[in-house]
């Protein structure tokens, strides 16, 4: 690909552009805040306030205030980012900020979590959360094919019993727990 000089030139222009966006990815936060502000404001304006209003301030006032402040903070933050201000990512004992973000782990972990949401109504809490636990442990690097599923099963059945039987908080047992 790079044999053609024109393409190589284009790539060279592309490269600093992409890294500029990467260095200023915090602008995404500003876009999010801006969008949220617009959403809150437009929603507030659709609230009919001519009737049922009690007192001088209707249901619109606070959303309008919050929405406007969101827009203001979004703009101020954008100014700070463009002037070279940088967010300090949160540290922690299990967190190593010197390594680049591991998106694969995040995606597999998210998949495990969403699998639970997709399965819980069909197979019940014990099975769906065991699947999630095993999937999450796998995502985070655990590869013990005996211990991982065993802990997952014990923990999810134990939690189900504790909530269903001891605390009286109903969780769906699913077909597996139907035998009890």
Q: How far is the CB of 23 from another protein (least distance, A)?
A: 13
Q: What separation in angstroms does the CA of 68 have from each of 35, 50, 59, 60, 115?
A: 11, 22, 15, 12, 38
Q: Least CB distance from residue 158 to another protein, whole Å?
A: 10
Q: Which of 5, 56 has the CB closer to another protein?
A: 56
Three-class SS of residue 84?
Answer: coil
- In angstroms, the CA 88 to CA 38 distance is 27
* CB nearer another protein, residue 3 or residue 74: 74
Q: Smallest distance, Å, CB 118 to another protein?
A: 8
Q: Which is nearer to another protein, 92 or 178 (CB)?
A: 92
Nearer Cβ to another protein (16/168): 168
Which CA distances in Å does 128 have to 36, 144, 164? Answer: 33, 19, 16
Backbone angles phi, psi at 3, to 5 degrees: -65, -35
Q: How far is the CB of 174 from another protein (least distance, A)?
A: 13
Whole-angstrom Cα distance, residue 135 to residue 113?
8
């Amino acid at each position: 690909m790079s044999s053609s000089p024109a393409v190589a030139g284009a790539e060279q222009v592309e490269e600093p552009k992409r890294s500029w966006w990467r260095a200023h990815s915090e602008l995404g936060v500003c876009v999010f805040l801006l969008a949220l502000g617009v959403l809150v404001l437009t929603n507030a304006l659709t609230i009919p306030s001519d009737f049922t209003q009690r007192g001088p301030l209707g249901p619109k006032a606070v959303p309008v205030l919050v929405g406007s402040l969101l827009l203001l903070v979004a703009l101020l933050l954008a100014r700070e980012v463009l002037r070279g201000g940088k967010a300090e990512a949160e540290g922690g004992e299990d967190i190593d900020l010197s390594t680049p973000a591991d998106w694969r782990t995040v995606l597999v972990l998210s998949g495990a979590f969403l699998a639970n949401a997709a399965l819980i109504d069909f197979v019940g809490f014990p099975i769906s959360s065991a699947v999630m636990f095993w999937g999450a442990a796998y995502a985070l690097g655990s590869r013990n094919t005996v211990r991982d599923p065993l802990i997952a099963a014990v923990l999810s059945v134990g939690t189900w019993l504790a909530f269903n039987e001891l605390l009286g908080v109903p969780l769906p047992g699913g077909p597996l727990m139907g035998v009890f």
